[in-house]
Amino acid sequence: MGDVILKTEGLTKSFGKFRAIDTVDLKFKSGIITSIIGPNGAGKTTAINLLTGALHPDKGEVFFKDKDITSLTPDQRVKHGIARSFQIMNIFPMLTVLQNIELPLLSLLGKNLKWFHTVSHYQDVAEEAEKILRELSLWDKRNKVAGELSHGDQRALEMGMAIASKPEICFLDEPSSGMNPVERAAILELIKRLAEEGTTTFVIIEHDMDVIFALSEWIIVMNKGEILAEGKPDDIRQNKEVVEIYLGEEV
Amino acid sequence: MTGLKDTLALSIKRHRSQLCWLGAFIIFLFILPLFSGDYILYMVMRMAILCLLSYSVNLLLGNTGLLSFGQAGFYACGAYACGKVLLAGTSLLPGIIIGVAVAAIVAIILAFFCVRHTAIYFAMITLAFGMMIFSLAEKWVKFTGGDDGLIGIPRASLNFFYIFNIKMNTIPAYYYFVIVATLIAIYFIYRILHSPLGLIFQGIRDSETRVSFVGISVRKSRLICFTIAGIYAGLGGALFAPLEQTITPSTSHWITSTDPIIATLLGGMYSFSGPIVGSVVYFLLKDIIVRLTMNWMLILGTIIIILVLAFRGGVMGAFHAYISPRLK
């Protein structure tokens, strides 16, 4: 607990002339739910894309437990224990709910090149998939096509796919976006429970202040590609600069 | 072992009606030579070969989400390699095996260039490679015979050392060989598509980025998929050479690549049996329409437009949507 699990040094990324991320040093500690907040265009999603390998930085390095992973591809980073969910829904819409969860498990359990037996032949995959789907309350819908699920269920499924690969650190990009209050409460509860039970460290990007202050133990505020402030939720709430730029009258 | 036995029993129980249909179909194929002439057997063999080519296309299209216009290239590799080996005077199996192997090797090499690209870029680059193979077949006169192609490829007998020696010079004999080879190939593709590897292919079709973020290399998986597709096209070509006994460069032309695409769309690209049904329907349609009118392309074109506009899932898609729920 408390060791730095993932950090960046001088991370920089530009899109044309626009500097999305400007020499940023991020640090994430194991076992501490961290939130990244900031106005639109602050560079939050770009930061996650750089950390998980969806984008490559122009300058700077990413370290996972002191190992330089800057040049690794997304799938290699997942193997190290870095997973994510997406801001815009990213599931396998034509596959069933069960198959959606099986895919990360096949990779985790090293079955991804097996080509002769059916997927259901592999007991360890089946057992693990059932466990996760029960956790998500999606077990009864396992044979439904994922694209036909409700929005909330699809969101939960996507989170399930992220945690199925048993990551040490898991980035959730706006996990509650587009949800109604009931679904939102459920997903909050789920994240909390997973964080308490499991060994996964969650890093969350959110716009909803209630979600952030209910969940996080550490908050990083970004603005215009830089870190504006970071600290415990109470400190952030009282930080004048932050209040001015982002929180406004909400707090 | 009991676990395997139980799952087997369960799957037999669950798919009883499908298994009955399958059994009936296979028996039909095997007794067909008893009451039909060489022309029908020839047609069925062409259907079987088109079916292999369609699986090659659909492995990429319906399962991995990549449209290839170059499968005829691998088909021709299989056909020419098999033809060359048979012309050298070997028996049938070495010809088929070398045909498949050559297609597989070419597929692996080209895969490195192709799998980086998707959508229209993939279609164009496979088209380009296919046409390169076409011009090679046309211009490398010494090896391929140029425009005339390879002529007089023998339908060599099937022998295995001195254990057995089956003559293949009659149409029914070669028919059994083609049917058995095709059925074995279809069985293997069935296993592949229902295995973890197949699930990964379908995942790539649905969302490439998501596959890489569950820890699977998209590039490597596509490479494997492209190679298997090449093997299936190569097998089709290798079976085709002794059947026609003549191979011309048109085998590798991109027009040959479109036949299996149309057949796959006809049968349904999201259904396992789509390529089989599509190949049969395609040949029947072609055969029937050709007898009625010279303008068979016009009619076939109309049918394809109707399919794309109204029945995206092809014949099998329509069957699953409208007919099979009513049977229950």
pLDDT per residue over B178-188, tens digit each?
Answer: 999 999 999 99
Mean pLDDT score, B37-48? 92
Query: Are the beta carbons of A43 and A20 closer than 8 angstroms?
Result: yes
Mean pLDDT score, B224-243? 95
Better-predicted residue by pLDDT, B37 or A245: B37
Nearest to A106 among B200, B209, B212 (CB): B200
Question: Residue B28: is its pLDDT beyond 80?
Answer: yes
Better-predicted residue by pLDDT, B14 or A218: A218
Question: Residue B207: is its pLDDT beyond 80?
Answer: yes
- Rounded Cα distance between B44 and B279, Å, is 10
Residue A34, helix vs strand vs coil: strand
Nearest to B203 among A79, A103, A108 (CB): A103
- Rounded Cα distance between B269 and B68, Å, is 14
A-B CB pairs within 8 A amount to: 109
B214–A115 C-beta distance less than 8 A? no
Looking at residue A245, its pLDDT comes to 73
Residue B215 CA, distance from chain mean position: 31
- Rounded Cα distance between B75 and B229, Å, is 10
A165–B214 C-beta distance less than 8 A? yes
Question: Residue A213: is its pLDDT beyond 70?
Answer: yes
Residue A114, helix vs strand vs coil: coil
Residues of B in contact with A162 (CB under 8 A): 213
Residues of A in contact with B203 (CB under 8 A): 92, 95, 99, 103
Looking at residue B10, its pLDDT comes to 66
Helix or strand holding residue B49 (H, E): helix B38-58
Residues of A in contact with B207 (CB under 8 A): 90-93
Looking at residue B327, its pLDDT comes to 66
What is the CB-side half-sphere exposure of residue A186 using CA atoms within 13 A? 17
Question: Residue A65: is its pLDDT beyond 70?
Answer: yes
Mean pLDDT score, A28-55? 88
Distance from CA of A17 to the nearest CA of B (A): 26
Instruction: Kindly state the tokens that stand for A140.
Output: 């009864």
Q: State how far the alpha carbon of B130 is from the alpha carbons of B126, B139, B246, B320, in Å.
A: 6, 14, 20, 34
The single residue listed with the structure tokens 């996760």 is: A132
Question: Residue A4: is its pLDDT beyond 50?
Answer: yes
B200–A103 C-beta distance less than 8 A? yes
Percent of chain A with pLDDT over 90: 21
Q: Name the least confident of A43-57, A144-158, B121-135, B296-310.
A: B296-310
Q: Where are the domains of chain B?
A: 36-251
Looking at residue B328, its pLDDT comes to 55
pLDDT digits (tens, 9 = 90+) for A107-137: 888 888 888 888 888 888 889 899 989 988 8
Chain A residues at the B interface, defined by Cβ less than 8 Å, are 52, 54, 73-75, 78-79, 83-84, 86, 90-95, 99, 102-104, 106-108, 111-123, 125, 161-162, 164-165
Looking at residue B26, its pLDDT comes to 92
Looking at residue B6, its pLDDT comes to 65
At B1, is the pLDDT very low, low, confident or very high (cuts 50, 70, 90)? very low
CA nearest neighbour of B176 among B48, B263, B284, B303: B48
Gap between the terminal Cα atoms of chain A: 30
Helices (H) and strands (E) in chain A, counts: 9, 11
B1 interfacial to chain A (CB closer than 8 Å): no
Residues of A in contact with B270 (CB under 8 A): 94
Question: Residue A71: is its pLDDT beyond 60?
Answer: yes
Question: Residue B2: is its pLDDT beyond 70?
Answer: no
Looking at residue A240, its pLDDT comes to 81
Domains of chain A and CATH, by start: 4-250 (3.40.50.300)
A92–B210 C-beta distance less than 8 A? yes
Residues of A in contact with B215 (CB under 8 A): 75, 78-79, 104, 107-108, 165
Chain B: residue nearest A99 by CA?
Answer: B199
Handedness of CA A164, A80, A8, A230 (dihedral sign): positive
Q: Whole-model pTM?
A: 0.88
Looking at residue B96, its pLDDT comes to 94
A112–B198 C-beta distance less than 8 A? no
| Most confident by average pLDDT, A11-20, B95-104, B300-309, B310-319 | B95-104
Looking at residue B8, its pLDDT comes to 64
Looking at residue B3, its pLDDT comes to 55
A119–B195 C-beta distance less than 8 A? yes
Chain A: residue nearest B217 by CA?
Answer: A75
Distance from CA of B271 to the nearest CA of A (A): 12
Looking at residue A251, its pLDDT comes to 43
Question: Residue B321: is its pLDDT beyond 90?
Answer: no
Chain B: residue nearest A53 by CA?
Answer: B213
Optimal mutation site among B193, B199, B214, interface A, most CBs of chain A within 10 A:
B214
A122–B3 C-beta distance less than 8 A? no
Optimal mutation site among B213, B216, B221, interface A, most CBs of chain A within 10 A:
B213
Looking at residue B156, its pLDDT comes to 83
pLDDT digits (tens, 9 = 90+) for A148-180: 998 888 988 998 998 888 899 999 988 888 788
Helix or strand holding residue B263 (H, E): helix B254-267
Residues of B in contact with A114 (CB under 8 A): 195-197
pLDDT digits (tens, 9 = 90+) for B239-290: 999 999 999 998 888 888 889 998 998 888 888 888 999 999 888 888 888 8
Question: Residue B48: is its pLDDT beyond 90?
Answer: yes
Mean of the per-residue pLDDT values of chain A: 86
Q: Name the least confident of A27-31, A244-248, B87-91, B264-268.
A: A244-248
Looking at residue B4, its pLDDT comes to 58
B270 interfacial to chain A (CB closer than 8 Å): yes
Better-predicted residue by pLDDT, B107 or B148: B107
At B7, is the pLDDT very low, low, confident or very high (cuts 50, 70, 90)? low
Which value, to the nearest 10 degrees, does the dihedral of the CA atoms of residues B26, B28, B33, B36 take? -150
Looking at residue A21, its pLDDT comes to 85
DSSP, residue by residue, B21-40: HHHHHHHHHHHHHHH--HHH
pLDDT digits (tens, 9 = 90+) for B58-86: 999 988 889 999 999 999 999 999 999 99
